[in-house]
Structure 1
Amino acid sequence: MDTSQKTGKPPRRSPRLVSWQWATPEAQAILATRNLSAILKYYRRVHGDSQTQTGELLGYDKTYVSALELGKRHLNDVGSLRHVAERLSLPAHVLGVTDPADADHRAMLQFGQSTVRLAEIARQSGHATEAVAELWPLVARLEARARDGNTEREVLHLLAHARLGLGTALGNVLPEERLATAAHWTAQSLDVVRIFDDPALTTTALRMHGNELRKSGLVGAAVHRLTHAAAIAPNQTERAAVLPLLARAAGTLGNQTLFDRTMEEAHQLLDEVDHTSLVNPTALYEIHLRGLIATGRAEDAIQRAEASSPTPTMSIAPQWRVIELITSGRVRLLAGDHRGATELLVGAVREARAQRLPHQLQRALRAAGDVLPDARESAEQALTQLRTEMAA
C-alpha cells in the first residue's frame, strides 16, 4: 500500500527532485528572504502545480494557499511553519523556526568538510584504505538526508565532494575487475555537481570521473570527459590539473596527436602554476614515457628514459612512486635490460603491496609477462595475499 494511503497524506514528491531543486542558485536567493509567499510561488512554478495541488500537499484549500501567496494570510505558529517546511522538504529554520536538529546539522557539515580534507591527505600519502573507511559513513549519512528530502545547498555540495573522494580512493584500492565501482561513485557526484553552475567544481568532477573511467577501461568516455573538463576549466591552474590525466587517457586510446598536443601544453603550464602531486615534472615524465609506449614509440621512450630524469620539485606521493617504477620497468624491458627491469618491478611490487594497491600489482604483473619470472612471481604472490585480505 502507498504510504499516503496509510497516513492519509498526499504522496510526497521524490526527495531527490524536491531537495535538489531547492539547491539551485535561484532557489537559494528566494529561501534567503524567508518569505513564505515567494517560497510557495517558486515551488509551484518549478513543479508546475496549481494552488489546488499545493493545497493538497499542505492540507490546505486553494483559497488559503492563494491568501498565503498574496500575503493576506500569515503563518505565525511554530507547528504550522514546521508542517509546511516538512511538506516542502525544507529545513525548518528557513521559515524562521528554531530546530533542535540545526546544531547537529551544522556540526555534521563541519565534521564532513574536515573528513573530506583529511581523507584526501590520507589518500595522497598512501593510505587510500583509511580514506575509504572515513568517507563511506559520511556519504551514507549525506545520502540518507537527501533521500529524506532534508537537505540544503551546502549539504549537496559536501555530498558531491564526498562522492568524488570516495570514488577516487576506491580507484586506488580496488583491483581492475572492480574499478567500475570507483567510476560509479565519481559519476554519482556529477548528478549533484550539475545543479551548482560552478565551473571549477564541474571541472574537478569531470577530471576525477574521467580518470576513473580510464582506469576501468572506458577510455573513449574518459577522453570525452577530460576534454570537456579542460575546455571549461575557469583558469590555468584548473586546466593544468586536467591535462596530465587527459594526456594519459589519450595515450591509452592510442591518439598520438591529442597525446602530443596535451603533453606539450602541460609542460608549458609547469612554469605558470603551482606544482601539485599531479602537476610536476616527475609525474609528467612518467606520463610521457607511458604515452610514448602506448602510441607505438618505444624507442622514443627508451631514449627519453636514458636521458637525465627531471629533478623532483616536491615530495612525490607513494602511489606515484609505484606507478613510476612500473613504467620505468617497462621501458627497461623494452631496452633489453631484463635485470634492471626486474629490480624496478620487484621494487614496485613491494611498495604496492605495502600500500595495498591491487591495480598497480596487476600492472606490474602484465609488465613482467612471461619474460621476467621473478617479477611475475613476486606480483602474483602479493596480489593473491591482497585478494585474500580483501575477501576476509
Structure 2
Amino acid sequence: MWLWSGLDATAALATRDLGTILKSYRKLSGLSQDGLAAALGYDKSYVSMIENRRRTISDVPTRRHIARVLGLPAHVLGVTDAADADFAAMLQFGDSTIRLAEIARQSGRAVEAVNELWPLTARLEARAAEGHLDRDALILLGQARVALGVSLGTVLPEERLAVAARWTGKALLVARRLEDRAFLAHTLRMHGNELRKADHKIAAAARLEQAVNLADSPVERGSALALLARATGETGNSAAFDDTIAAYRDLLDQHSGDSILFNPFTFHEIHLRGLIDTGRTTEAADRVHNNPPGSTAPAPQWQVIERVTAGHALLAANDVTGAEEALRNALQAAEARRLPHQIQRIHRIARRADLPLTADAKTALTKLRTYLVLPDHQPPGHSAS
C-alpha cells in the first residue's frame, strides 16, 4: 500500500483519472498490462482501453473493485463523497486506528501498521485538499502522517527512506500550527530520526535538539536524547556524541525507563554504535564482551539492531567467529520481521570483511524487495499475514 506514498503517485491520484492512476500503479509495482489485467480479473485489451481513455468506467461496483485491488480508498476513484457519513465514523475511530498501528509497529509488525494507516491517511489527505478539515480532523491528520512516516521508515529499504521523511515532514507542518507543545516535540523527534535515516544528519540533529528542548517529561526527553545521540554519532562528532550519551545515561539513572527509546537496552545499542561511528572500535568491542545489554529488547526490531551492531563491533576486534554468529542471527530475524535496511547494514558489514554471509544477505534483500513491491504476490489491497 505504500506504493502510493511517493510524489509521482500523489500527483497521479490528484488527477482522479482512472487511466492515469492505472499507469502509475503499473510503473510503481513493475507490472505489465498483462499482470495488472490478471490482478483485476480483466482482459489486457480492456486495461489498455481504460489507460488510453477509450473506455470509461462509471459503475460503482467496478470502481470499488479496482480501488480494492490497487489498495486505494474508494473515494479516490470517485465512489464516495468526502462529506459522507463514513468519514465522520472514520474520525471517531481514527485515534484507535493510529494507536493500534503504533502497537503493531513496536511489536515488530510494521507492515501491518502501514496497511492500517494508509487508508486513514489517504482519506484525510483528500479531505485536507478540499479545505474541509476542522481542528480535530487536522490533529488526526498530523498524527496519521507521523505514524505512517515512522512505519514506512521501518519497512522501506534505505534508498526509499526519503519517502518516510517526507511524511513526517508533512506532519511537522501540521504540528507547528496546532500550538500543542507535546505533539510538536514528538513530531520533531520522529521527523528528525527519519531525516537521519535518509542521510540528512545535520538537519536531523537540529530537529532532535529542538525536540530535547521541548520535551516535558523524562521519557520524552530521554527518547529525544537517544535519537540525538544516534545522529551525533553518525556525524563522527565524538564530543557531541559523548555529551549527548552522557545526558541520556544520567537521565536513565534518575528515572526508570521502559519506553521503546528510553531504556537500558536501547542505551547500550546506541552507545555501542556511537563508539563505532566515532572511531573507537576497540572500546566498542570491549563493551560487547564485558558489558552486555543487561535487559531485554523493548521491541523485536531492537534485538535485530543490537545484534547487527554487536557483529560490527566484533569484526572490528577481529573476532570473526563471534561476528558471523551475531550477524547471521540478525539476518534471520531481520528477514522474518521484514526489516530491509537492517539487512542492508548486514550486507555492507559482511561485504567489507568478505564474509560468506554476504551472499545470503543479498538474497534475503532481493526476496524482501519483491515482497515490498507486491506483498506475498497478492494485490496490495489484500493484507499479507
**TM superposition score normalised by structure 1:** 0.72
Structure 2 residue 309 is matched with structure 1 residue 357: no
Matched with 2:383 is: none
Distance in 1, Cα, partners of 2:91 & 2:265: 36
Report if aligned partners of 2:258, 2:298 keep a CA contact under 8 Å in 1: no
Q: Does 1:291 align with 2:274?
A: yes
Say which is worse superposed, 101-110 or 164-173, in terms of deviation: 101-110
Identify the residue that residue 377 of structure 1 maps to in structure 2: 359
Deviation for aligned residue 1:102: 8.6
Q: Distance in 2 between matches of 1:351 and 1:327?
A: 14
8 Å Cα contact 1:252/1:294 also seen in 2? yes
SS of aligned partner of 1:210? helix
**Amino acid in structure 2 at the alignment position of 1:320:** W
C-alpha distance in structure 1 between counterparts of 2:337 and 2:269, whole Å: 19
Q: Secondary structure at the match of 1:327?
A: helix
Matched, 1:368 2:350: yes
Segment of structure 1 superposing worse, 227-236 or 207-216: 227-236
Structure showing greater radius of gyration is 1
Cα distance between partner residues in 2 of 1:343 and 1:310: 17
Q: In the alignment, which residue of structure 1 is the partner of 2:293?
A: 310
Answer yes or no: is 1:160 the counterpart of 2:142.
yes
Matched, 1:214 2:163: no
Instruction: Give the counterpart letter for 1:384 in structure 2.
Output: T
Equivalent in the alignment of 1:324: 306
1:278 pairs, out of 261, 264, 273, with: 261
Preserved CA contact (<8 Å) 2:219 2:259: no
Residue 370 to residue 257, structure 1, CA distance change in 2 (3 Å): closer
> How far apart are the structure 2 equivalents of 1:315 and 1:261?
24
Gaps of at least 5 residues in structure 1 are: 1-100
2:14 matched to which residue of 1? none
Q: 1:389 aligns with which of 352, 362, 371?
A: 371
In 2, distance between residues paired with 1:201 and 1:391? 32
| Offset at residue 148 of structure 1 (A) | 1.6
Contact 2:265 2:297 in 1 (8 A): no
> Retained in 1: the 8 A contact 2:308–2:345?
yes
Partner of 1:175: 157
Q: After TM superposition, give the deviation of residue 390 of structure 1 in Å.
A: 2.3
User: Where in structure 2 are the equivalents of 1:104-183 lying within 5 Å?
Assistant: 104-183=86-165
- 1:316 is displaced (CA, Å) by 2.5
2:206 aligned with 1:224: yes
Partner SS state of residue 278, structure 1 = coil
Contact 2:297/2:303 (8 A) holds in 1: no
Task: Give the Å deviation of 1:310.
Answer: 3.2
Please state how far the C-alpha of 1:326 moved relative to its aligned partner: 0.2
Partner amino acid, structure 1, of 2:317: A
1:189 equivalent in alignment to 2:159: no
| Corresponding pairs, count | 292
Q: Deviations over 1:133-172 (max 9, x none)?
A: 1101100111111112221111111111110010000001
Q: Determine which of 281, 297, 300 is the counterpart of 2:283.
A: 300
Deviation at 1:237, TM superposition (A): 2.6
Bigger relative CO (Cα 8 Å, ≥ 6 apart): 2
RMSD across aligned positions (CA): 1.7
Distance in 1 separating the partners of 2:220 and 2:355: 43
**CA shift at 1:104, angstroms?**
4.3
Q: Distance in 2 between matches of 1:389 and 1:238?
A: 34
- Residues in 2 aligned to 1:102 and 1:140: alpha-carbon distance in whole angstroms: 16
Residues of 2 paired with 1:278 and 1:235: CA distance? 14
Judge conservation of contact 2:101–2:112 (CA < 8 Å) in 1.
yes
Following the alignment from structure 1 to structure 2, what is the Cα–Cα distance between the partners of residues 289 and 187? 29
Answer whether contact 1:338 1:372 (CA < 8 A) is retained. Answer: no
Deviation at 1:218, TM superposition (A): 0.6
Q: How far has the Cα of 1:315 moved from its partner?
A: 5.1
Superposition deviation, residue 308 in structure 1: 3.0
Is the contact made by 1:236 and 1:273 (CA closer than 8 Å) also made in structure 2? Answer: no
1:60-139 matches, cutoff 5 A: 104-139=86-121
Percent identity over paired residues? 52
Structure 2 CA distance, aligned partners of 1:105 and 1:384?
A: 39
* Secondary structure of 1:194 counterpart: helix
Asked whether the 8 Å contact 1:200–1:233 carries over to 2, the reply is: yes
DSSP 3-state at the match of 1:275: coil
**Structure 2: gaps of 5 or more residues:** 1-82, 375-385
Q: Distance in 2 between matches of 1:237 and 1:324?
A: 21
